Each structure stands twice: as C-alpha cells, then as structure tokens.
Amino acid sequence: MEEKIVDSKGRVYLGKWYANKRIYIVDLGGVIVLTPYTAFAEELGKIKSVEELMEFLKSISPKELREAFREAVWEKTKS
C-alpha cells in the first residue's frame, strides 16, 4: 500500500510511469480506483457500492484479471 497526499488543488502525483497516459477514475462511494485499463474501468463503472465491488473482485480470478489486462493492452498497442 502506498500513501499519497492530495495537494491544495486536488492533485495527486502518481509517478512518471503515468505521465501523459490516460487513466480512468472510478469513485465507488469513497473508494477511488485509478486504472489505465478501459475494460476494467467500464466494469467498475457498473458497480454501485463497495459491497458490489467486493463481490465483483471475488467473482474473477487473478489469472482472468491478468488476461483481460493483457488483452486490453494488446488492443491499444496494435492500433
């Protein structure tokens, strides 16, 4: 886990890896998820509560999650 401080303008420095990259922000009622993966953000956008988030995360295996991320990254890089 990493702790970041939000500055007076509401900004958080994520690091150079994210520089000039599009990220998606999903607010689940106080739980904020930042992700560079469109497919993951779209699925999270359907979730309405933290409880639903926990159920969603339990419903997919880490292997499925990795495969979905790889597929999304591959789609972005080949175009």
Which pLDDT score is estimated for 7? 92
pLDDT at 76: 64
Can you give the pTM of this predicted structure?
0.57
- Tell the residue number behind the tokens 């495969």, with chain if given: 67
User: What is the Cα 1 distance to its own chain's centre?
Assistant: 15
Please report, in tens digits, the pLDDT of each residue of the chain (79 residues total): 688 899 999 998 888 888 888 899 888 877 888 888 888 888 888 887 778 878 877 887 778 777 777 777 676 666 5
pLDDT of residue 75: 67
